[in-house]
Amino acid sequence: MLPCFSLQLNHAEMAAAARPLVTVQSLESDMATDATGIPLPSVMKASIRPDIVNFVHSNISKNSRQPYAVSRKAGHQTSAESWGTGRAVSRIPRVAGGGTHRAGQGAFGNMCRGGRMFAPTRIWRRWHRKINVNQKRYAVVSAIAASAVPSLVMARGHRIENVPELPLVVNDSIEGVEKTKNAISVLKQVGAFSDVEKAKDSVSIRPGKGKMRNRRYIGRKGPLIVYGNEGVKLVKAFRNIPGVEIANVDRLNLLKLAPGGHVGRFIIWTKSAFEKLDSIYGSFEKTSEKKKGYVLPRAKMENADLARIINSDEVQSVVRPIKKEVKRATMKKNPLKNLNTMLRLNPYAKTAKRMAVLAEEQRKKAKKEKLDSKRKPVSKEESAKIKAASKSWYKTMISDSDYAEFDVFTKWLGVSQ
Amino acid sequence: MTTVPGQLVWEIVKKNNSFLVKEFGNGTQSVQFSKEPNNLYNLNSYKHSGLANKKTVTIQPAGKEQAVLLATTKTKKQSKPASLLNKSILKKEFNRMAKAVVNQVASNYYRPDLKKAALARLSAVNRSLKVSKSGVKKKNRQVSRVYGRK
């Protein structure tokens, strides 16, 4: 169960509170009435379901079809027999006999000239469709509700820029209009004439074979005039105006309310028709008087205004604040190449590196010094020192060694002790 | 008057309405335009739609030369199409008109998200009026020879 928001009134309150008044347009010849208006009938608050309307419309429009079929005997009025094999012809049945072109021609098959078609159309095809009564009513109710929304009526293509109010309710005096001339002037007063003009200008010859089949002209739909009382004169006055259609409230036709399956026909109501709507369709709680036990369909969402719901106190107070800064994926950097990422991972690396650098410098320095000292030419004192040192070392070596046959060597070396 | 919320109307209208124009391409490649008068970019989208929004702005040429019609819809009169629009005709030079448009659309918080669109449309309409006044540029049919050094 959804929590009940404070801005969503429950049914009873909503019915009473949100029933705006619709003013009745008066025609020129009327006496000025007190312009209070009629409260909007609940039908116009029903949920608008273009999907249901489309479905029901497509099914209902199948109901006025007349069957068509190919003749049952077509293609079979021959006594053809196959010649069998061995005659160098294909094996389809061929017309028997002789003396005419027809003899020996193929017959019976859908591929043969003059044969029966594939799957001959039959009259017992299921032409009509049954639709559940509730669905039909839902569709009608939806279509009526949609006709009260100016955006939808405009979207369907009607010219309602100059209409003083939607839904358009006209005083009952319109029911007494007898001449078409007056009917047109009434439409002009009410602001509906541009729609009629659009319909009149749009009359053209139908493309296609329909024009030879008694459906020669097509044109746009204009306003639909709904009246409340029987035997009213306006029917005859308005029916000859191109685009204009008339209907009685008691017998509203979905095919007229949503032509082509598209919701939002421009409807002109008479006052008595408008008042009857409540009793015919009932309200969301009250069952209808004319349709036994029927109650208007409930919407999936009572309050469909998303913007208002989202911005309401109830929702905003519980919602977390917007995250303005977007956390984006960081680029991976190689620690072995990038010092900072290495340090992020291993802080000791800094000192280790430093130590390594310093050690390297020491090594370099030491090597350089060594090389320099080696490459430097030896000074006289040093070389003398070196020579003296080597002599004395040799002497010590001799004296240390205690070699007995030293006499032999003295001759060789020529060294005098 | 039924206050059918704009979101609902948009859901019904977005795929199929008499103003919808699908052009230039197949399937997902095409652009969807919308011809209704209250649409500033003529794009078929919720934000710009003249059908699905309670507050809309429209800018159109107003018949007399150089006059531009600026109109906004009144939120309280949604069900009375004849008296829906606050119309005003702008005839001054462009800067003044631009200022007026900005005032009406953004400065009073009417539809601040449409400010750029409104100004863009204003300049487009203005330019088209200038062109219509001075006539479409006549291209010189004769090829002009350039006399110069060979």
pLDDT in tens, A183-214: 999 999 898 999 999 999 999 999 999 999 99
**Whether pLDDT at A14 is above 50:** no
Calpha distance A151→B79 (Å, rounded): 9
The continuous run of DSSP H or E covering A366 comes out as: helix A348-375
Instruction: Answer whether B7 sits within 8 Å of A304, measured CB to CB.
Output: yes
Residues of A in contact with B3 (CB under 8 A): 18, 305
Q: What is the mean pLDDT of residues A81-85?
A: 87
pLDDT at res. A313: 93
**Whether pLDDT at A267 is above 90:** yes
Summarize pLDDT for A95-150 with one digit per residue, the tens.
Answer: 888 888 888 888 888 888 888 899 999 999 999 999 999 999 999 999 999 999 98
A-chain residue closest to B80, CA distance: A165
Calpha distance A155→A58 (Å, rounded): 20
Work out the mean pLDDT of chain B and round it to a whole number.
Answer: 80
Q: What is the mean pLDDT of residues A31-39?
A: 64
Q: What is the mean pLDDT of residues A386-394?
A: 91
pLDDT at res. B49: 84
Confidence of residue A238 (pLDDT cuts 50, 70, 90): very high
**Whether pLDDT at A355 is above 50:** yes
Summarize pLDDT for B12-30 with one digit per residue, the tens.
Answer: 888 888 888 887 777 677 7
According to the per-residue pLDDT averaged within each range, which of A125-139, B49-63, B111-125 is highest? A125-139
Query: B-side interface with A, Cβ within 8 Å?
Result: 1-9, 12-13, 16-19, 36, 51-52, 78-84
pLDDT at res. A316: 93
**Whether pLDDT at A8 is above 50:** no
Nearest chain B Cα distance for residue A181, angstroms: 24
Residue with more model confidence, A24 or A208: A208
Which of left, alpha, beta for A38 (phi over 0: left; psi -120 to 50: alpha)?
Answer: beta
Q: What is the mean pLDDT of residues A147-172?
A: 89
- Number of neighbouring beta carbons within 10 Å of residue A405: 7
Token pair 């540029």 is found at B137
pLDDT at res. B16: 84
Two tokens, residue A6: 């404070």
Calpha distance A177→A189 (Å, rounded): 14
Nearest chain B Cα distance for residue A23, angstroms: 10
Q: What is the mean pLDDT of residues B127-136?
A: 78
pLDDT at res. A408: 67
Q: What is the mean pLDDT of residues B114-118?
A: 87
Residue pairs between chains A and B whose CB atoms are closer than 8 Å: 86
Residues above pLDDT 70, as percent of chain A: 90
**Whether pLDDT at B10 is above 60:** yes
Exposed e or buried b for every residue in A274-306, given b needs 16+ CB within 10 A? Answer: bbbbbebbbbbeeebeeeeebebbeeeebbbbe
Summarize pLDDT for A315-336 with one digit per residue, the tens.
Answer: 999 999 888 888 889 899 999 9
**Whether pLDDT at B100 is above 60:** yes
pLDDT at res. B138: 65
**Whether pLDDT at A219 is above 90:** yes
Instruction: Assess: ipTM above 0.85.
Output: no
- ω into A167 cis (within 30 of 0): yes
Find the CB nearest A155 among B1, B17, B81: B17
Residues of A in contact with B52 (CB under 8 A): 151
Residues of A in contact with B55 (CB under 8 A): none
pLDDT at res. A6: 38
pLDDT at res. A1: 42
Confidence of residue A84 (pLDDT cuts 50, 70, 90): confident
A51 interface with B at CB cutoff 8 Å: no
Which of A19, A142, A151 to substitute to test the interface with B, most B CBs within 10 Å? A151
